Structure 1
Amino acid sequence: MTTGTGSLRTGHPTAPRRRSTARTFLPLAVAAWLILEIWLLGVLAEAAGGLAVAALIVGGIVLGAVVIKRAGRRAFKNLTDTFQQAQQGKQPAPQQPGRGNGLTMLAGLLLMLPGLLSDVVGLLLLLPPVRAWAGRRFARSLERKMSAAPAGSFGDAFQQARIHYPDGKVVQGEVIREDRPEGSPGPDTTYRPPLAP
């Protein structure tokens, strides 16, 4: 029998898992951001009036909806182009970090949120140099997290898939083994359904 904070299977003491800094401070940062947004809207309402605040919020919602709609159309067009290239046997060109539509959609979402800070961040993300910088940063962070993933996790599987299939090509087919002794009759003629329709 073990005492303390030991593992039941091994009997060895295990250290309690440390909570990451992001998990500790993220709720505080979100709460501070919300308070700051409300305070800034109040300051703007005192300076310019409630009608200006309402116009700013409605304008942000409309602009954010337009940005998200355009980015969604571009993403759908890219997807159909990629499928058409794959059907023709061409290798689709890899996307550069920051050139995709994810950060543009995030910018539109931030514009739709009521608040001045979210609008400023959304407008900054619409600028191509800022979007490219944020995309590179996000890609580097994701690479670092995936490479440090423990064995058996989703990140490890993603890394293994990237290592073994760098070009992303998938060749569908069926493997038939002929493991019969030399004196046995010809090939097996039993029906085998195809692997994919």
Structure 2
Amino acid sequence: MTTGTPPPTQPARPRRSRVLRFLPLSIAAWLVLEIWLLTVVAGASSGLMVFLLLVGGLVLGSFVIKRAGRRAFKNLSEALQQQQSGVAPAPEAGGGSALTMLGGLLLILPGLISDLLGLLLLVPPLQKVLSRGAERAFERKVREAAAAAPGGFGDAFQQSRIHRPDGKVVQGEVIREDGPSAGPRGPGGGPDDPQLPR
């Protein structure tokens, strides 16, 4: 028996980006490469050397993360103290605490490639270049998301402004006096006469 209602349709699944599509494969290839390099080093020297490399990476990575965390906490407490005293907080001179922590995490992970990447992230000039690039990429993604999602934050901000060439926002209030009790509106007293602001 047919009821006339169409069968329910399932919503289309959003397309995955290329990065997300190949991420599991690249992680698996990275793990295989790490294990292969560790076996090559163990074959060239000894298993004790591989063990010492892994323990050294763990100790060095822990030290780096602990130091970066202390520095970030110190910068945060100084900024809060400056803000409470009414002074504008100075921008962080060193920067890169997130990249330093990521470098420490890569040092902690067992493997030679992750250790090499972690050591590279601890180099200050490379940190500055990477942080600038990440900041630009983040700003671009925010702009794209604001442009692609109508009704989002960027769209609401644009709609809240009055469309004038100079971009000025005019604050005001509209008062409507509709009904029979409204008295004369101007010199002519007609309903179509403009009303002056009060």
**TM-score, normalised on structure 2?**
0.68
Identity of aligned residues (%): 55
2:95 corresponds to? 99
Residues 62-99 of structure 1, C-alpha deviations (whole Å, 9 max, x = no match): 00011011101100100000000000111112347x82
Residues 140-196 of structure 1, C-alpha deviations (whole Å, 9 max, x = no match): 11111111112466xx47x96xxxxxxxxxxxxxxxxxxxxxxxxxxxxxxxxxxxx
> How many residue pairs were aligned?
149
Q: Secondary structure at the match of 2:127?
A: helix
Decide which of 71, 74, 93 is 1:74's aligned counterpart.
71
**TM-score, normalised on structure 1?**
0.68
CA distance in 2: counterparts of 1:43 and 1:131, whole angstroms: 31
1:130: Cα distance to partner?
0.9
For structure 2, the 5+ residue unaligned runs are 158-198
2:142 corresponds to? 146
CA distance in 2: counterparts of 1:144 and 1:136, whole angstroms: 12
Task: Name which one, 1 or 2, has greater alpha-carbon Rg.
Answer: 2
Could you say if the C-alpha distance between residues 79 and 152 of structure 1 is closer, same or farther in structure 2, counting changes exceeding 3 Å? farther
1:55 corresponds to? 52
For structure 1, the 5+ residue unaligned runs are 8-14, 161-197
Matched, 1:43 2:45: no
Contact 2:96-2:127 at 8 Å conserved across structures: no
Letter in structure 2 aligned against 1:55: L
Could you say if the C-alpha distance between residues 76 and 16 of structure 1 is closer, same or farther in structure 2, counting changes exceeding 3 Å? closer
1:33 corresponds to? 30
1:124 corresponds to? 120
Letter in structure 2 aligned against 1:103: L
Q: Secondary structure at the match of 1:26?
A: helix
Letter in structure 1 aligned against 2:51: A
CA distance in 2: counterparts of 1:107 and 1:56, whole angstroms: 16
4+ residue runs of structure 1 moved beyond 6 angstroms? 1-7
1:131: Cα distance to partner?
0.8
2:83 corresponds to? 86
CA distance in 1: counterparts of 2:42 and 2:26, whole angstroms: 24
CA distance in 1: counterparts of 2:98 and 2:52, whole angstroms: 27
Could you say if the C-alpha distance between residues 152 and 71 of structure 1 is closer, same or farther in structure 2, counting changes exceeding 3 Å? farther
1:18: Cα distance to partner?
2.1
CA distance in 2: counterparts of 1:115 and 1:86, whole angstroms: 43
Could you say if the C-alpha distance between residues 151 and 62 of structure 1 is closer, same or farther in structure 2, counting changes exceeding 3 Å? farther
Letter in structure 2 aligned against 1:119: D
1:184 corresponds to? none
> 1:154-173 to 2 correspondence within 5 Å?
156=153
CA RMSD in angstroms, aligned pairs only: 2.5
1:19 corresponds to? 16
